């Protein structure tokens, strides 16, 4: 007997839906449930219902609020720089046209590198004493001594330093997406603007960027979500230090869970973190992207 199309489609989706339900939705449910308990880190240890106590503790702790602000700052730095650099490269590739194709490919290579390797590599470049960046800046006469800037040891700048590998890894993504968007701008529109005497800045801000808006929205939201979850690159470079100056939310939750053995508190933090991500992503999508208003 022939089943209806709708049912057939449902059957096709069921295995994947079940997988996500069991391995994503259920763990998430566990996370939220755990956030209401005080849980002993020892397996099979006591588990006492404490209501919203973990949430009160989270919001009362300086570590949690600090990590929240740092995650926000980190995300803004990463996304802003990536957008500026990615747009610059995309415009460069577009204005050079076809002949730059091979370089577009080469430019993509960091996307394939593991974040853990990228973090390690940049740590090696920025580390005190034998880091190459300090040495090169010193030899160029910019720094009076190679250790003048403690890239990873100065609490005031470490949050920016740990962002560098992330920017290095994924500017290519931003560039690729914006490049694809630029290819879709109708040539006659550019020609018309040029005939009207539009100069480069006007062309960029009045024509190109407004037309790219939906593409920009996607790229920013996608990268923003990833940057807000950054873990590997920061863990390997500083482990959140010095003095927690580079401890973002993922690191704090990880440490609360593993190092301080407080799964209840970590779950409450994780729940707040997840809700905040969903809220920000929703607002970003609906304000920047503005679906429907393009028509």
Partner 1 sequence: MRVAERTTHDGGTPPPVVAGTSVPTTTGSSGRQRRGVNREGLEAGRRSTRTLLWVLLAAAMVLYGFPFLYLLFTSFKTPIDTIAVPPTILPREWTLENYTNALGRSGVLASFINSIQTAIISTVLSLVLAVPAAYGITRYQTLSGRIFIMAALVTRMVPPVAIGIPLASMMAAVGLSDTPIALSIAHTTISLPLSIWLMSSFFEAVPKDLEEAATVDGCSRLGALWRVVIPVVSGGIAVTAIFAFLASWNEFLFALLMTAIRSQTTPVVIANFQTQFGLDWGSMTALAAVYSIPVILLTLLLQRKIVAGMTLGAVKG
- Site for partner 1, residues 22 to 41, rule: CB under 8 A: 23-24, 26-28, 30-31, 34
Q: Is the dihedral of CA 92, 93, 94, 95 positive or negative?
A: positive
10 Å CB burial of residue 291 (0-12, 13-18, 19+) is exposed
Among 1, 16, 60, 140, binds partner 1 (CB under 8 A): 16
CB of 157 to partner 1, least distance (A): 19
Q: Rg for the chain (alpha carbons), in Å?
A: 24
Cβ closest to partner 1, residue 50 vs residue 276: 276
Among 1, 140, 184, 287, binds partner 1 (CB under 8 A): 184
CB of 176 to partner 1, least distance (A): 5
Among 19, 56, 69, 205, binds partner 1 (CB under 8 A): 19
Contacts 24+ apart (CB under 8 A), 100-105: 104/176, 104/179
Rounded-to-integer distance, Cα 262 and Cα 246, Å:
21
Please name the residue that has the structure tokens 């939310």: 249
CB of 64 to partner 1, least distance (A): 14
CB of 50 to partner 1, least distance (A): 18
Report the site for partner 1 in 136-155 (rule: CB under 8 A): 138-139, 146
Residue 25 DSSP one-character state: I
Structure tokens at 122: 């940049």
69 is a site residue for partner 1 (CB under 8 A): no
Alpha helices in 1-114 (DSSP H): 5-20, 26-34, 53-60, 62-96, 101-107
Among 116, 137, 157, 198, binds partner 1 (CB under 8 A): 116
135 is a site residue for partner 1 (CB under 8 A): yes
CB of 56 to partner 1, least distance (A): 20
Range in contact with partner 1 (rule: CB under 8 A) among 44-52, 56-64, 72-80, 233-241: 233-241
Mode of pairing for the β-strands spanning 37-39 and 47-49: antiparallel
């Amino acid at each position: 007997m022939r089943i209806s199309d709708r049912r057939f489609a449902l059957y096709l989706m069921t295995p994947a839906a079940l997988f996500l339900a069991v391995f994503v939705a259920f763990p998430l449910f566990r996370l939220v449930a755990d956030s209401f308990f005080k849980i002993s880190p020892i397996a099979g240890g006591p588990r006492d219902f404490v209501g919203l106590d973990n949430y009160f503790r989270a919001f009362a702790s300086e570590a949690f609020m600090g990590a929240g602000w740092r995650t926000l700052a980190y995300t803004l730095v990463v996304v802003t720089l990536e957008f500026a650099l990615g747009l610059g490269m995309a415009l460069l590739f577009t204005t050079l046209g076809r002949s730059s194709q091979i370089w577009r490919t080469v430019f993509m290579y960091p996307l394939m590198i593991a974040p853990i390797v990228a973090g390690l590599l940049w740590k090696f470049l920025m580390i005190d004493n034998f880091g190459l960046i300090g040495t090169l800046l010193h030899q160029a006469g910019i720094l009076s001594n190679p250790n003048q800037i403690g890239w990873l040891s100065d609490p005031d700048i470490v949050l920016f330093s740990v962002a560098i590998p992330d920017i290095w890894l994924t500017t290519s993504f931003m560039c690729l997406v914006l490049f694809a968007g630029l290819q879709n701008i109708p040539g006659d529109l550019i020609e018309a603007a040029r005939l009207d005497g539009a100069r480069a800045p006007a062309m960029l801000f009045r024509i190109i960027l407004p037309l790219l808006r939906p593409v920009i929205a996607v790229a920013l939201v996608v990268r923003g979500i990833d940057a807000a979850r950054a873990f590997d690159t920061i863990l390997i470079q500083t482990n959140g230090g010095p003095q927690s100056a580079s401890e973002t939310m993922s690191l704090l939750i990880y440490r609360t869970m593993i190092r301080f053995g407080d799964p209840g508190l970590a779950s409450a933090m994780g729940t707040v973190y997840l809700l905040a991500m969903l809220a920000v992503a929703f607002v970003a999508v609906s304000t920047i992207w503005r679906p429907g208003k393009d028509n």
